């Protein structure tokens, strides 16, 4: 059975939003896309990278609670939604359209219509897919809570308690953690997408336990259709942070090794996804054979 596929990528800088927007809106060369089919792409919301950036900045500016800590807040989340290639080979046009339409509705229900900045359906690549940008704003209504507190002691030394009300003002804050807080939440996200979208189009849930993250569309699809890695682009030189006439400061051995490891890991993750998918299919086939033999 074909699988529903959902990936996310978190953006903490407007520069990466702009760069991804240029890819989404075909403002730069896209090797995997057929330029003759690009006019068939469909966009709802921001239609250019400039419009996308402006819309994201406007929504982020609505936050009334500023982020704290050293980590940069996530200002936008990029979704990539598609299905196994065999789905598009066997499903009819109405089924495919319904799948993508339901996915759009799910995004808007989950994040709020105003927070879904742009959704593009790419029809100019071998495997059609949705690319969506969402600002993870969370609105909290004003509330009052009651709390019992100790206000003193009586003559016998027993605590005297009093119920007081505490008022919390309404607020709006950026919180990717609200939607994607850890591995468990991402696992639940896959299950939610399957139950509310994928299953209605005859798709199975995404691979259980897969830790693959969203890759650039051309890399992801290039690998998933071939099932093998492209030539790995491995960093070969240390980064130079400061260079003077007689000295320079460069990346140390540990940092360089970590950067190389992360680069290789990211490039091989899509292939790992395919391997997990293949293994899961083999298990399902084996279980089906065993079940058939048991009832002979």
pLDDT score at 79: 95
Are residues 45 and 119 in contact, defined by beta-carbon separation less than 8 angstroms? yes
| Alpha-carbon span 179 to 189, nearest angstrom | 8
Q: Is 254 helix (H, G, I), strand (E, B) or coil?
A: helix
Beta strands in 87-230 (DSSP E): 116-122, 129-134, 137-140, 143-153, 159-168, 171-174
State how far the alpha carbon of 206 is from the alpha carbons of 119, 125, 203, in Å: 21, 21, 9
pLDDT score at 197: 96
pLDDT score at 216: 43
| Alpha-carbon span 98 to 105, nearest angstrom | 10
| Alpha-carbon span 270 to 263, nearest angstrom | 13
Compute the chain's Rg from CA coordinates. 24
| Alpha-carbon span 23 to 250, nearest angstrom | 32
Q: What is the mean pLDDT of residues 147-165?
A: 87
User: For residue range 89-99, what is the model confidence (pLDDT) as tens digits?
Assistant: 999 999 999 99
User: For residue range 8-18, what is the model confidence (pLDDT) as tens digits?
Assistant: 999 999 999 99
Are residues 178 and 201 in contact, defined by beta-carbon separation less than 8 angstroms? no
Beta-ladder partners of 243: 248
pLDDT score at 228: 44
pLDDT score at 82: 94
Q: What is the mean pLDDT of residues 20-39?
A: 91
| Alpha-carbon span 132 to 117, nearest angstrom | 8
pLDDT score at 270: 57
pLDDT score at 181: 73
Q: Residue 45 above 80 pLDDT?
A: yes
Could you tell me which residues come within 8 angstroms of residue 149 by beta carbon, excluding any fewer than 6 positions away?
161, 162, 164
User: For residue range 89-136, what is the model confidence (pLDDT) as tens digits?
Assistant: 999 999 999 999 999 999 999 999 999 999 999 999 989 999 999 999
Phi-psi category of 73—alpha, beta or left, where left has phi over 0 and alpha has psi -120 to 50? Answer: beta
Q: What is the pTM of this model?
A: 0.64
User: For residue range 173-230, what is the model confidence (pLDDT) as tens digits?
Assistant: 888 888 887 667 888 898 999 999 999 999 998 765 444 444 444 454 444 444 444 4
Q: Residue 53 above 90 pLDDT?
A: yes
Q: Residue 250 above 90 pLDDT?
A: no
User: For residue range 54-96, what is the model confidence (pLDDT) as tens digits?
Assistant: 999 999 999 887 665 557 889 999 999 999 999 999 999 999 9
CA angle 63, 43, 47 (to 5 degrees): 60
Q: Is 229 helix (H, G, I), strand (E, B) or coil?
A: coil
């Amino acid at each position: 059975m074909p699988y529903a596929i959902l990936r996310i990528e978190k953006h903490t800088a407007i520069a990466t939003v702009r760069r991804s927007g240029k890819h989404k809106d075909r403002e730069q060369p896209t090797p995997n896309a057929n330029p003759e089919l690009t006019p068939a792409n469909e966009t709802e919301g921001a239609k250019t990278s400039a419009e996308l950036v402006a819309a994201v900045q406007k929504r982020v500016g609505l936050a009334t609670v500023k982020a704290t800590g050293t980590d940069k807040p996530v200002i936008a989340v990029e979704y990539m939604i598609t299905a196994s290639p065999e789905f598009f080979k066997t499903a009819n046009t109405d089924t495919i359209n319904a799948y993508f339409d339901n996915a759009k509705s799910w995004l808007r229900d989950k994040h709020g219509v105003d927070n879904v900045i742009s959704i593009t359906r790419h029809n100019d690549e071998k495997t059609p897919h949705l690319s969506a940008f969402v600002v993870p704003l969370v609105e909290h209504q004003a509330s009052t809570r009651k709390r019992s507190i100790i206000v003193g002691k009586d003559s016998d030394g027993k605590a005297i308690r009093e119920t007081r009300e505490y008022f919390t003002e309404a607020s709006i804050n950026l919180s990717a953690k609200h939607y994607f807080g850890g591995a468990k939440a991402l696992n639940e996200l896959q299950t939610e997408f399957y139950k509310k979208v994928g299953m209605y189009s005859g798709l199975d849930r995404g691979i259980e336990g897969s830790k693959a993250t969203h890759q650039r569309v051309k890399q992801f699809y290039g690998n998933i259709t071939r099932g093998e890695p492209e030539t790995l682009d491995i960093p070969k030189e240390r980064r130079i942070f400061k260079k003077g006439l007689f000295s320079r400061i460069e990346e140390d051995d540990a940092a360089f090794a970590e950067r190389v490891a992360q680069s290789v890991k990211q490039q091989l993750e899509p292939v790992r996804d395919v391997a997990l998918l293949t293994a899961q299919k083999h298990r399902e086939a084996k279980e089906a054979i065993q079940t058939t033999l048991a009832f002979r």
